[in-house]
Amino acid sequence: MLCAGIDAGSRTIKLAIIEAESRKVVAKGLLDQGVDHDGRAMYLFNDVLKSQGLRREDIARIVATGYTRGGISLADTTITEITCHATGVRHQVPEARTVVEIGGQDSKLLWLAADGGVRDFSMNDRCAAGTGRFLEVVASRLETSLSGLGALACLSRQPAAISSMCVVFAETEIIGLLSAGVPREDIVAGVQAAIASRIVAMAGTRVTPPVVFTGGVALVSGMAGALQTALNSPITVAPDPQMTGALGAAILAARGK
């Protein structure tokens, strides 16, 4: 029996299809988000099915999660991304106790109980500071790509001090740093350190290892190292971190949730 999870995030839509009994991922896909959230999810779903020689009736149950989960007509039910990310991380890293998830428009900290359930969580969803969108703005201003940010950060010798974490004000600050001759690599390293500091502020003293880093921003090289330094704790990047929510949703679908 096959089950599917759809993570309809603010920036991208992710799909994971698993074999219900083994929890093995048999197919997955990702598509940029658009105006028609449901239409984009439907397109991704049908495209992945076609590529695997599957039919709609092969999928026994579908759970949707993420920012626009309520508009996904394919789904049998919806479950919050908090629960889905916790489930996905727990499946990949069973010993995880703290989860840092940084996506396109928000960042979350999850504290897991010994059984994998969510004991508590903290979430920043009021502005784009410290999210994938923030890094996109930085990359654009520095004339590089998201993947290029990590390469630049590795070259830094003296990370710049970034005092503002508002996207608008931080962009102005970056322009000022560039005008003052601060190297791009030092600006990127400073931005990554500032994002990590924001996560520390959310966490307070409640960081219980092992700590797992997930979400699309976990793919940006240098971010895991910045978090590790700021949190003073080893960081494990989840396998395929952008797909964690969709995987968790698929697992919950297999459980009949």
What pLDDT is recorded for position 167?
A: 63
pLDDT tens-place string over residues 72-110: 999 999 999 999 999 999 999 999 999 999 987 788 999
Q: Which fold has domain 1-93+240-257?
A: Nucleotidyltransferase; domain 5 (3.30.420)
Tokens found for residue 147: 């993947």
Write the DSSP symbol of residue 102.
E
pLDDT, residue 131, reads 72
Q: Which residue matches tokens 């502005």?
A: 127
pLDDT mean over 167-187: 86
DSSP codes joined into one string, 70-87: GG-TT-SEE--HHHHHHH
Task: Kindly state the helix (H) or strand (E) to which residue 152 belongs, with its residue range.
Answer: helix 146-153
Question: What rounded mean pLDDT belongs to the chain?
Answer: 90
- Is the pLDDT confidence value at 115 over 80? yes
Q: Nearest Cα to 127, choosing from 167, 170, 171? A: 167
How is 154-222 classified by DSSP, letter by letter? Answer: TT-SSPPP----SHHHHHHHHHHHHHTT--HHHHHHHHHHHHHHHHHHHHTT---SSEEEESGGGGSTT
Q: Which of the following CATH numbers is that of domain 96-237: 3.20.20.140, 3.30.420.40, 2.60.40.10, 3.30.9.10? A: 3.30.420.40
User: What letter represents residue 246's amino acid?
Assistant: A
Name the residue with higher pLDDT: 242 or 170. 242
Strand partners, 31: 13
Fold match, 1-93+240-257 / 96-237: yes
Paired with 101 in beta bridges are 108, 214
For residue 168, what pLDDT is reported? 65
Lowest-confidence segment of 29-43, 54-68, 148-162 by average pLDDT = 148-162
Q: Report the distance separating Cα 109 and Cα 86, nearest Å.
A: 10
Tens digits of residue pLDDT in 2-26: 999 999 988 899 999 999 999 999 9
Handedness of CA 148, 149, 152, 154 (dihedral sign): negative
- CB contact at 8 A, 196 and 229: yes
Residues 227-253: pLDDT tens digits? 999 999 999 999 999 999 999 999 999
Question: In 3D, which of 208, 13, 252, 187 has the Cα closest to residue 100?
Answer: 208
Q: Where are the domains of the chain?
A: 1-93+240-257, 96-237
Task: Summarize the confidence of residues 160-171 as an average pLDDT.
Answer: 73
The confidence score (pLDDT) of residue 7 equals 97
Which of 85, 95, 56, 69 is closest to 13 using CA atoms?
69
